[in-house]
Structure 1
């Protein structure tokens, strides 16, 4: 495999013989945008926009940025440091912007974790004007992934420090714990991390335990019995479904990999450090396009947004 360093350079992935014939693969991989690691732009999360643009949360720059389809990067907001300069955020220390989400209306939301009440929680980014806090979260939480559950008109948020999933009304207000199942708990560092709603369930990754967990949504919107669907994924961050049943593409932060997780829980590597993966953090799939962010927060110094073609 060729190392991807410049915009427009593509690499063809060869699928190994152990991969099921029906599995998805990738091709036409290129770097869409480079970010400024020296300025703290470690790309952490992805929200897709119409037309091929994306919105990304940046840690520890405390920024939300937009990447246009041509790769141009624009900073939408930079969150202020908390009083005293921060340093009390659970697990990570410094204040960080993590998950981002886009409502069907076009409104953008993002998570800010500061270790202080009145700042930590879900923020709305208006089309004009300053961001505003719409869902406060406790100071001891480390909100990480943000999902809009449209049919139930609510936000869902993973808490990596507390090993929980929170819910809150989409219109804003008080958050409550949706699930505190032991499968979400950390084991020394990060617990529940990435999250998606898929096929009647909430799916979450657990970084410390290297697992993907499926939690059914009950008829009244509550959480059912959790089930571990994949193991052996130490350092897993965000993930997304390929629209081929329960097939998943997952970012493995610590190993600098993008892996495919098959419906039976087995997995294989599609991209690694030789392809430009550096602290891989997030994946988002739309049609045959796969967007991947590299934070370069544990390895390397070149955070990027990469774009690949999904072959089904």
Structure 2
């Protein structure tokens, strides 16, 4: 999510969260440091992140229309370039958005262009990106998550109040869930998306909420439930592995916060640690990865990592 037109973030207050299971463990982070400082003038504005088995980070650069691999040593290798046609609604420019990685190493990325190139693209080793499915050009496909077991991608559309479902082999998108809770009010609605506990979870930026959409046994969507509110302008979020604890990126506040099932919220990382408009967060093998898109400041887009204990 690129929040070019939003000026301030509402103060975090009154957070309420409800889940079916409580988690009593807590989280600490240490040794936050920037792996690489990126070049906004070259379009290197990080949007989404996936982690490779060797610890490298695959990142979509929204303004450049690229997916790149960043090693923990700071080397940047472009893996694929997407079409730079048309203009993504709201963003005002073509934008590479959500990213997902399958177990065979293929990467799936969203291209938002406002034309026929809007949709899901696959990047396989040594091959040019291929469009798997076209999505409505009037939409803003933003966050994406892969359900490896079912072979489906779920995509949060920030302007059409819809979660799309697309087979990883390609095909016609299905409007898997539509609901007013996914809608925008002024800028962006459905944005970050995650899988957890037999449900698809979606963040709504304008509403400051996290939503839970159960998967029925037949694969269809259950009723949309609001499980967290009062969060401010949420972007990406992820569950701490093996727990119900949620890490949330708040780009306008320059924060990564931890949300407990009982509603407690604690700030884990701030601008003092090197954050600069965080747009994505992921946890892998004891490391938390944060993509900083320099959302408001346009200063120092970067990839930051820290050690995480829980």
The two structures have a TM-score, normalised by structure 1, of 0.89
Q: Answer whether contact 1:229 1:265 (CA < 8 A) is retained.
A: no
Gaps of 5+ in 1: 1-19
Q: Which of 212, 215, 218 is equivalent to 1:214?
A: 212
- Identify the residue that residue 255 of structure 1 maps to in structure 2: 253
Shift of 1:300: 4.2
Q: Deviations over 1:257-307 (max 9, x none)?
A: 110011123312111122221111000111311000100022241011111
- Identify the residue that residue 273 of structure 1 maps to in structure 2: 271
Q: Deviations over 1:170-193 (max 9, x none)?
A: 110100111112211111110111
- Identify the residue that residue 43 of structure 1 maps to in structure 2: 46
Higher relative contact order (Cα pairs below 8 Å, separated by 6+ residues): 2
- Identify the residue that residue 195 of structure 1 maps to in structure 2: 193
- Identify the residue that residue 10 of structure 1 maps to in structure 2: none
Q: Answer whether contact 2:105 2:124 (CA < 8 A) is retained.
A: no
Q: Answer whether contact 2:57 2:69 (CA < 8 A) is retained.
A: yes
> 1:209, 1:107 → 2: CA distance?
33
Where does 1:74-89 land on structure 2 (aligned, <5 Å)? 74-82=77-85, 86=86, 88-89=87-88
Q: Answer whether contact 1:141 1:161 (CA < 8 A) is retained.
A: yes
Gaps of 5+ in 2: 1-22
Indicate yes or no: 2:182 matched with 1:184. yes
Indicate yes or no: 2:107 matched with 1:108. yes
Q: How many residues align?
A: 288
Structure 1 pair 129–279 and aligned structure 2 pair: CA distance change class (3 A): same
Shift of 1:244: 4.6
Q: Answer whether contact 2:50 2:57 (CA < 8 A) is retained.
A: yes
> 2:107, 2:83 → 1: CA distance?
18
> 1:135, 1:264 → 2: CA distance?
39
> 2:68, 2:203 → 1: CA distance?
24
> 1:128, 1:243 → 2: CA distance?
31
| Pairwise CA RMSD | 1.4
> 2:275, 2:305 → 1: CA distance?
12
The two structures have a TM-score, normalised by structure 2, of 0.90
> 1:106, 1:254 → 2: CA distance?
32
> 2:264, 2:58 → 1: CA distance?
31
> 2:140, 2:298 → 1: CA distance?
24
> 2:208, 2:302 → 1: CA distance?
24
Shift of 1:167: 0.2
